[in-house]
Structures are given as C-alpha cells and as structure tokens.
Amino acid sequence: MPRHVLFAAAAAVLAIAPLPALAQPPSRGQVQDSSTVPPPTLTPAAGPDFPRGAISGHAFVDYYYDVAGDPRHAYNASGADSGLTDLSMAATALGGPKNVGRDLNGIVIRRVYFQLDNDLTIKYVTRFRLEVDSKSLASDGKIGVAVKAAYLKVRSAIPRGDFSFGMLDTPTWYESEDFWQYRSIEKTLADFRGIGTRADLGAALKGYLDDQHRLGYFAMLGNGTGQKPETNRYKKYYLSLPLKFGDLHVAPYVDYENVPGGQDKATYMVFAGYEFRRVALGVEALDRANHRPAGGNQQPAGVSLFARGAAIATVGAFARFDYWVPDRGATNRVDSQLWIAGLDWRPLKNVHVMPNVEATQYRARGSAVAPGYHDLQARLTFYYLFSKPQS
C-alpha cells in the first residue's frame, strides 16, 4: 500500500477517536464546578511535643596582666605567688582592701555556664544550671563546678505572675546586671563588693501588675545562705519593683535578713537606666546596714555610674565608675574608686572580643592606712554563647 494512503488512514482514525479532557483553570468570571475538584487534604496542626528541652550557656575567658599593684612577691613551697590576681578579690579581701600583685599575668576562666531548660508542659518548666568558676576550687585545687540554679517554675500561677521554687536567681542585682550587659567584664556594684548573692534556695513570685508590663515585681523568700544549705531557722526577704516608662528603667530594691545574735542585715538599692537608640546610661546606689550587738552598725554604701554604646553593629564601647565607702559611719576608713573602660568587637553573632582595663584607687580617711599602691589590670576578654535548640 502506498505510503501516502497509510498516512491518510491514520489521520482519519485520530480525527474520529475521542480525546481525554484536559483540566483547565476556569476563565475569569466563570464559576468552577466543585464536583470536579478534589477536596483539600487537611493536615492537623501539630501541638508542642512535651517534654522538650534546650541547652545553652556562655563562657568568660581572660588573658590578664597586672600593670600596677604591690611589687613585692613571695612564693610558697610549690611556687605559687602570694599576690592577689583579681581586683574583685582585692576589694573583698578579709581585713580590708588589698593590692593585686604587680606583673602577675595569666589566662583565667572566670565563668562557664551550662544550662538545661526543660518544658514539662506549657505551664510547668524547669531549669538546671552548672557554673564553673576559677575562684571556687575543688579539694585538689582544680577548678570546681557548682549548682547555680535548679528550680521548677509555674507560669501564670496567678494572673501575670510566675511562681518558682528551688535554687533561684535573686532579685538583688537582677535589673542592673541585665541593663549593664557586661557581666562578662565585671560584676555590678553589690556583687563586686560581696553584698548579697546571685542565687539562693527559696521561693519567688515574679510578674507584672498591669497588662502593659510597665509595673513589675519580684518577691522572694530565701534561706539567705546562697548556694549553701540552710544552717539556722532564720530567713531572708527580697523585694524588687522594676518599673518601665518608655526608655526609662527604674528598680527600687530592699532585702532583710535575720541573723542570730542581733546581727541582722538590711540592704537598700535603687537602679535607674535610660536607653537611647545607640547609647545607654545607668546609675545604681546602694546603702547597707549590718547590725552589730555592740559598737554601732556598719554602713557600707556606694554608687555606680556606667555607659555603653555601639557606633556600628559589630563594635561597641563601655565605661564605668564606682565609688565605695566601706562604712559611712566610720571616721577612719579607706574609700575606693573603681574605673572600667573597654571596647567590644563582635566578629560573630555570639562571640565577643573585648580589650579592657580595670583600675582601683584608694583614699584613706582619718587615721586609716590605705594600701600602698593603686591597682591597674589590663585584660583581653573572650566571651561567647552557645546553644542547642529545643528538641
């Protein structure tokens, strides 16, 4: 059969054969027949999977060099220098302030936090935190590890208020440290001078009095022993009232601790901070009454002024000045001034490289004798955060 006859026959078959209909989108204004559209597949919304947890933490590591301080050096049998290495150690030394040892230098891990947050439900959550601190050593002299937080929190136990029980963060410098933002460089005023503790065993209620979260409260009842077990029947009472008015932060604070033998202690502090677009200014004032059964009360007091800012996203700067009076009721005393300044370079989101200096000057009042030298420490501080998202 000729080839052209075959082609003609094939074309005729295709012309009369029924073709399958192709689905086309409806034209504008045309209503689509719902009977021809398959129903959508509905995927049920997955609720939170409980329990769920997150791991996080941070570390402060320094290289330090004591540029000024006591030039005398004495060594024990193992070759350890008797001089103090840290300005906060010198500030809280027994018997009054002491100098750091000039020319002492080294690398120190000032803090490592390892934290586990575990949500049992949306309402009930737990936190467990370990701290590594070069000042807290194990019995063999190695860097020790301590429990810094271990508590259960009930969210919205009352309207706009959470209840916590266990080893908790205290409200003592909660607001000022959060605003200062440079705990990696130095403790805030009360912490630096050994007034109070960051953690205590107890129960706390924290929340807001209004829906706009402008009027807050942080009330706590604790043992008063910090991270140590309770040793008596007396307790410590804490109260902070953080207030926010736009960019202005204000936080009055008071605590009272029963101590056997008529040695009760009361602390009064107020913090205020104002945050501009790129600059923040803060001030904190402290007054403490250490009751004594005889000889009058001891009244340490101080004020701290600080500023921080960032010219660009990856480079910032900070400065601070503290004036400290160990007993404002004493005629003979040694007052001190703390100066801090440094830069903050962030090469990565959670990594900070911060060259900084700390200096202490001593001023004798009356017949008191000040340390023989002023102190100056230069440091290169590395601060980094780590985290593992919730499982």
Least confident of 21-25, 119-123, 163-167, 239-243: 21-25
- The mean pLDDT of 5-21, rounded to a whole number, is 41
Domain membership flag for residue 3: no
Number of domains within the chain = 1
Domain extent at residue 146: 51-299
Binned at pLDDT 50, 70 and 90, residue 317 comes out as very high
* Residues 388/372, Cβ–Cβ less than 8 Å: no
* Residue 95 in domain: yes
Residue 379 has pLDDT above 90, yes or no: yes
Residue 150 resides in a domain = yes
- 277-285: long-range contacts at Cβ-Cβ below 8 A with a sequence spacing of 24 or more? 278/309, 278/310, 278/311, 279/307, 279/308, 279/309, 280/179, 280/181, 280/307, 280/308, 280/309, 281/306, 281/307, 282/176, 282/179, 282/180, 282/306, 282/307, 284/176, 284/188, 284/189, 284/190
200 domain-assigned: yes
User: Minimal CA–CA distance to 194: which of 101, 60, 286, 319?
Assistant: 286
Establish if 15 belongs to a structural domain.
no
CATH of the domain at 108: 2.40.160
- Which residue has better confidence, 6 or 261? 261
Average pLDDT of the chain?
A: 88
Question: Is 126 within the bounds of a domain?
Answer: yes
Distance of alpha carbon 70 from alpha carbon 57, whole angstroms: 36
Q: What is the pLDDT of residues 210-256, one digit of tens each?
A: 999 999 999 999 999 999 999 999 999 999 999 999 999 999 999 99
- Predicted local distance difference test score (pLDDT) of residue 5: 42
Q: What is the mean pLDDT of residues 72-77?
A: 91
Please give the pLDDT value at position 135: 83
- Inform me whether the pLDDT recorded for 159 exceeds 50: yes
Total-model pTM: 0.84
Q: Report if residue 361 sits inside a domain.
A: no
Q: pLDDT tens digits for 290-306?
A: 999 887 899 999 999 99
> 346-350 long-range CB contacts below 8 Å, 24 or more apart?
346/313, 346/314, 346/315, 346/316, 347/314, 350/384, 350/385, 350/386
Q: Is residue 8 part of a domain?
A: no
